[in-house]
Amino acid sequence: MYNAFFGFAQNPFNMSPDPSFLYRSRQHEEALANLIYGVQSRKGFVVLTGEVGTGKTTMLECLRDFLHAQQIAFASLFNSRLTVEQFFEMLSYDLDLRCNKLSKTEVLLSLNNMLLERAAAGRTTVLIVDEAHNLEWDVLEEIRLLGNLENRRGKLLQIILAGQQELDTKLDKPDFRQLKQRIALRCTLRGFTQAEAIAYVNSRMARAGIPEQTIISADLLEVIHHRTQGIPRLINAVCDNLLLIAFAMESKTASRDMLDEVTADMKLDYPPETAFNPDNSFPENVFRRAELPYQAD
Ligand SMILES: Nc1ncnc2c1ncn2[C@@H]1O[C@H](COP(=O)(O)OP(=O)(O)OP(=O)(O)O)[C@@H](O)[C@H]1O
Ligand SMILES: [Mg+2]
């Protein structure tokens, strides 16, 4: 709506996990490197966790681009509320297994053959499960068993589990200790630091067509970082609404009042801004000390 007004070629704060907007913060860079390394070195299980909206699905999209480019076959499950039967059916559709997709035995046989054939040709195969914190115990157990398939050169199926922090908690339970032991790499995404959040917003605006944006000042971006706790999805939502209000008011710059309105409407929960704590060198203390009765040494 506001794109033409500000001069954007496309919406800078789209909510979709679009890799073309990727901002390579250190933690995202590391997470992606871990995912790729895990696949390439046939590590077996890799787990990516993180708070809601920190970029897990975006990382998986980047990994999918990499797998496409490398012609590595993969199955990618984005709906994790599945029964065991549905899980095997989805898996066989994604990997295009030629068998009765409703028979777990047939799917397993066909999958095993496929994995062995691909491994013999020096190729690997990947299973990606997003929202893995929702997986039922019995489906996770089937996934663990798939992770056991191996030849002498390594695991036949590389498994990436991504999910919210409950996934970490789940994997720490005694029931899952066998799976936990098999996890070769584990990484976690957190909110951006202040500097990252500012660079993130600027990079999205640059990608959308304005390389040196002056719409949201650095000071305002600091407040946005505080109120969103650096969570990318919240930053997107706040900035999107902020640009919308600025546009509605025909202003080329966003103001603190506009931001207050946006965050109040969004009912954002954030800690109070840090209170000002003067240290000993602060003049007020110096004055107060001066009021103390004079004591000769
Ligand atoms: N490094 C990044 N570069 C660019 N955009 C990002 C980055 N990280 C997150 N985002 C953006 O933040 C939003 C939320 O990201 P994403 O959907 O990947 O989060 P998530 O961790 O999968 O969330 P959920 O826990 O709800 O599944 C998306 O719009 C995405 O484009
Ligand atoms: Mg996600």
Q: In the numeric block, which tokens belong to residue 50?
A: 């993180």
The confidence score (pLDDT) of residue 290 equals 45
Token pair, residue 142, equals 């089937």
pLDDT at residue 288, as a whole number: 46
Q: What is the pLDDT of residue 291?
A: 47
pTM here is 0.89
Kindly report which listed range (90-99, 157-166, 214-223, 271-280) carries the lowest average pLDDT score. 271-280
> Which of 158-172, 174-188, 227-241, 266-280 has the least mean pLDDT?
266-280
CB of 195 within 6 A of ligand 1: the answer is no
pLDDT at 294 over 50: no
Residue 55, classed as helix, strand or coil, is coil
Give 34-57 pLDDT, tens digit per residue: 999 999 998 889 999 999 999 999
Task: Please name the residues in contact with 113: beta carbons below 8 A apart, sequence gap of 6 or more.
Answer: none
pLDDT in the model for residue 297: 43
Nearest protein Cα to ligand 1, atom 18:
55
pLDDT averaged over every residue in the chain? 91
Q: What is the rounded end-to-end Cα distance, in angstroms, of the chain?
A: 72
Mean pLDDT, residues 253-267: 96
CA–CA separation, 22 vs 153, rounded Å? 34
What phi-psi label fits residue 157: left (phi over 0), alpha (psi between -120 and 50 degrees) or beta?
beta
Q: How far is ligand 1, taken at its centre, from the CA of residue 161, in Å?
A: 16
Per-residue pLDDT at 33: 96
Q: How far does the centroid of ligand 1 lie from the alpha carbon of residue 233, in Å?
A: 6
